[in-house]
Amino acid sequence: MGCYPVSASRLIAGEEPDSVAAFARFDDRSVDRTFVGQLRFPSGVLAHFESGFDAPDRERLEVVGSEATLVLDHPFLPAPDGPPASMTIRRDGEIETIEVEQADSYRAEVDDLQAAIIDGTAPRVSIPFSRGSIATLVALDQAARSGGTAVG
């Protein structure tokens, strides 16, 4: 689990993590039902995420900077199946709401794949980025299965 927050963290950091740590609860079939992961990037950016099947749905991405916090609610489950996405910036005690164009992201993925196959258009998500996400997810899984040991 955690492919969406891992991809988002890598996108925000703009680099690959140099260390990961993770803890999980696995069911009797070795499926990670609850997962907590941490990523450390060479620039000093830190990411923490939680995901799971055994808790109520609560999709939120929060980016905390030195001057403001960006909060995205419901960024991963696409419309029309999930609640509308929203975005706010919190700075100096003020909250600014930013309008988010609602889109069916699964449909957009299919359209992107279709354009790549039929028109030869470069996909929005590159093969190297996808490979980096997989490598990070594999490292997180290994860390969780080894008791949380950081892999780096």
Task: List the strands of the sheet with 19-26, edge to edge.
Answer: 19-26, 32-40, 46-52
The single-letter DSSP state of residue 151 is B
Residue range 91-140, pLDDT digits in tens: 999 999 998 888 888 888 899 999 999 999 999 999 999 999 999 999 99
**Domains of the chain (ranges plus CATH)?**
3-145 (3.30.360.10)
Residue range 27-76, pLDDT digits in tens: 999 888 899 999 999 999 999 999 988 877 778 999 999 999 999 998 88
* Separation of alpha carbons 113 and 106, rounded Å: 11
Residue 18 contacts residue 28 (beta carbons within 8 Å): no
Q: How distant is the alpha carbon of residue 96 from its chain centre?
A: 23
* Separation of alpha carbons 148 and 93, rounded Å: 37
Q: What is the percentage of the chain residues whose pLDDT exceeds 90?
A: 68
- Which residues, including other chains, have CB under 8 Å from residue 50's CB and lie 6 or more apart? 34, 35, 36, 37
In the predicted model, is pLDDT for residue 85 greater than 90? no
What is the pTM assigned to this prediction?
Answer: 0.86
Which letter, b or e, does each residue of 98-116 get, where b requires 16 or more Cβ atoms within 10 Å of its Cβ? eeeeeeeeeeeeeeeeeee
